[in-house]
Amino acid sequence: MRSSPAAPALPYPGAITDVRGIDAGHYTDPRRPTGCSVVIAPDGAVGGVDVRGAAPGTRETDLLDPANLVGVVHAVLLSGGSAWGLDAAGGVMRWLAERGTGLRVGAAPGQIVPIVPAAVLFDLHVGDARIRPDADAGYAACDAARSGPVPQGNVGAGAGATVGKLFGMAHAMKGGIGSAAVTVGGVTVGALIAVNALGDVVDPATGAPIAGARTADGRALRGSVAAVLAGEAPLSLLAGTNTTIGVIATDAPLTKAQCQRLAGAGHDGLARAIQPVHTMSDGDTLFALTTAQAPALDFNVLCVMAAEAVARACVNAVRAAQGIQTDTLNLPCASDLIAAHA
């Protein structure tokens, strides 16, 4: 398997770990492009979720409903491997429990339950589909978690991510995982997004595609929305074979209901950066966490920040990605197409 040279500098600064009380880490499987990523709140966090795609693969999302009992989240897992990748959450739970982090359900040893919601994306068509993230992968991602800079591109849940599949994998490009953060009034909102979309990733500032479905010769971007509106027929795809998943985090204090609303605002960022988005073949899911370690900020401002952080993280994901070639697929990255036209 061959890959492109190192990706260029990223356009947007910051990472989800700029949020006080948040760590993040990846595990990338060396055997094929797949992996998982974890966002950890060592002191616990209030959480919410918003699922917009029609084919999600998730775990513990019902628990995050504001009407339900449990009000704390200890980590969120993002994983490749389709539904198989949900196994990795068990490793995250084991790692947290070994460190005494979780919901106490009794005084006896072992009576602790870490709360680990999770979402998966489909990457089984890149390499050997028998290789999927498992509990050991989730544990290793936790071992790698830090509060500093977050690796981006072909790592963790973004290792096997692809974009621009509306006209088939032969015209697709490499996706990835990206992070970004914005700060206003001493409060930070950050995002970690694994971009594996059916649609194209566009520059929110111009609407121009950055990575996505390519033309028949593979040398330029087709523009999926424009192509569909011009009458080009997309291929019929199995539901759930795509999906963009991610975590938004802030250090502003929020209720559980506000976290759910913040996750919803983050989907505005997906809509700015991915076209089309929330399709029948995507399981787009965003989680939101608050560590409440900063002052309060107007909630409307936080929603603006969440959408912006998500959009920026999507752009960083494809800018950081490196192209790969397997025996059956050629998946160039955004910088490959730029170099081809230099």
* CATH at residue 83: 3.60.70.12
Q: How confident is the model at residue 3 (pLDDT cuts 50, 70, 90)?
A: low
Answer yes or no: is pLDDT of 157 > 90: yes
Catalytic residue among 243, 244, 290, 291: 243
Give the N- to C-terminal CA distance of the chain in Å, as an integer: 25
Average pLDDT over residues 288-306: 98
Cα 314 to Cα 324: distance, rounded to the nearest angstrom: 19
**CA-to-CA distance for 46 and 289, rounded, in angstroms?**
6
Confidence of residue 241 (pLDDT cuts 50, 70, 90): confident
Give the pLDDT band (50/70/90) at residue 6: low
What percent of the chain is modeled with pLDDT above 90?
85
The reported pLDDT for the residue numbered 109 is: 81
pLDDT at res. 191: 98
Residue 1 has pLDDT above 70, yes or no: no
pLDDT at 328: 86
Q: For residue 196, what are the CA distances in angstroms to 42, 79, 91, 245, 297?
A: 28, 11, 23, 8, 32
Strand intervals (E) in 98-225: 103-104, 112-113, 118-120, 162-163, 173-174, 176-184, 187-195, 200-202, 209-211
Higher pLDDT, 1 or 124: 124
pLDDT > 60? residue 84:
yes
Is 328 annotated in the active site? no
pLDDT at 171: 94
Alpha-carbon span 284 to 290, nearest angstrom: 21
> What mean pLDDT, rounded, does the chain reach?
94
Please tell me the total count of domains within the chain. 1
Please say if the pLDDT value at position 167 is more than 80: yes
Average pLDDT over residues 219-225: 93
Any idea which of 112-121, 124-133, 202-211 has the lowest mean pLDDT? 202-211
The pLDDT of 330-337, averaged and rounded, is 93
Is the pLDDT confidence value at 342 over 50? no
Tell me the pLDDT band of 339, cut-offs 50, 70 and 90.
low
Going by C-beta distance under 8 Å and a sequence separation of 6 or more, which residues neighbour residue 166? 198, 199, 213, 224, 227, 228, 234, 235, 276
Residue type, 246: G
How far apart CA 113 and CA 125 sit, in angstroms, is 34
Q: Provide the pLDDT for residue 221.
A: 95
What distance in Å separates the CA atoms of residue 133 and residue 91, rounded to the nearest whole number? 10
Reading the block at residue 91, the tokens are 């490793």
Model pLDDT, residue 326: 84
Is residue 301 within 8 A of residue 254, CB to CB? The reply is no
Task: Answer whether 198's CB lies under 8 Å from 231's CB.
Answer: no
Note the pLDDT of residue 2.
Answer: 60
Beta-carbon count within 10 A of 97 CB: 15
The pLDDT assigned to 5 comes to 55
Average pLDDT rounded to a whole number, residues 86-91? 98
The pLDDT of residue 237 is above 60? yes
Structure tokens at 147: 């509060």
DSSP state of 318: H
Instruction: Summarize the confidence of residues 327-332 as an average pLDDT.
Output: 90
Structural domain including 215 reads 2-340
H helix or E strand, kind and range, residue 194: strand 187-195
Q: Tell whether the model's pLDDT for residue 172 goes beyond 70.
A: yes
